[in-house]
Amino acid sequence: MFPSTSLYSLLVLGIIGLNSCSKSPKPIVYGEDTCHYCRMTIVDKIHGAQIVTDKGKVFKFDAAECLIRYHNDLENNEGYLLFTNHFETPEAFVPMKDAVFLISEALPSPMGAFLTAFKTNAKANQLKEEKGGALYSWEQLQQHFKK
């Protein structure tokens, strides 16, 4: 026996409502989506980033440096989740608070900050040894960009 039409409609709307408030990153459509900060088209699959607000709204960025600059300009960002693509698995996201960041002139990024995120310390250290540069935690990176 099928549920009544109104009960079925409420169930479908409830599921849609729950999914629309999801606090997780959304896939970036590379070559189509634009950066919320600088308005450039997002094409680099290693350097994209996202902010997910406390209400589930997603802001996409072409580089972590654009996200940081936008984030620093916000008056209230409590409850926001910050994600970045990372070197080990392009297109995949890692929370920025868990990432390790390398600034190396041998690894260009879309906005010229030479900033690349890594999911693991091991890979970040390996690339630092190969390419040079300096490693930063999320907290250290925020201070670096305030200078």
Question: pLDDT tens digits, residue range 107-128?
Answer: 999 999 999 999 999 999 999 9
Kindly state whether residue 3 falls inside one of the protein's structural domains.
no
Kindly state whether residue 107 falls inside one of the protein's structural domains.
yes
**What does the pLDDT average to over 98-115?**
97
In the predicted model, is pLDDT for residue 33 greater than 90?
yes
User: Can you state the percent helix, strand and coil of the chain, rounding each to 5?
Assistant: 35, 20, 45
Kindly state whether residue 17 falls inside one of the protein's structural domains.
no
> Which residue range is the domain that position 88 belongs to?
23-146
Give 141's Cβ-side CA count (13 Å radius). Answer: 25
pLDDT category at 76 given cuts 50, 70, 90 is: confident
Kindly state whether residue 86 falls inside one of the protein's structural domains.
yes
User: What's the confidence (pLDDT) of residue 77?
Assistant: 86
**What does the pLDDT average to over 62-75?**
93
Kindly state whether residue 38 falls inside one of the protein's structural domains.
yes
In the predicted model, is pLDDT for residue 16 greater than 60?
no
Q: What pTM was estimated for this model as a whole?
A: 0.83
Q: How far apart are CA 59 and CA 69, in angstroms?
A: 13
Kindly state whether residue 133 falls inside one of the protein's structural domains.
yes
In the predicted model, is pLDDT for residue 83 greater than 90?
yes
Specify the number of domains making up the chain: 1
Kindly state whether residue 85 falls inside one of the protein's structural domains.
yes
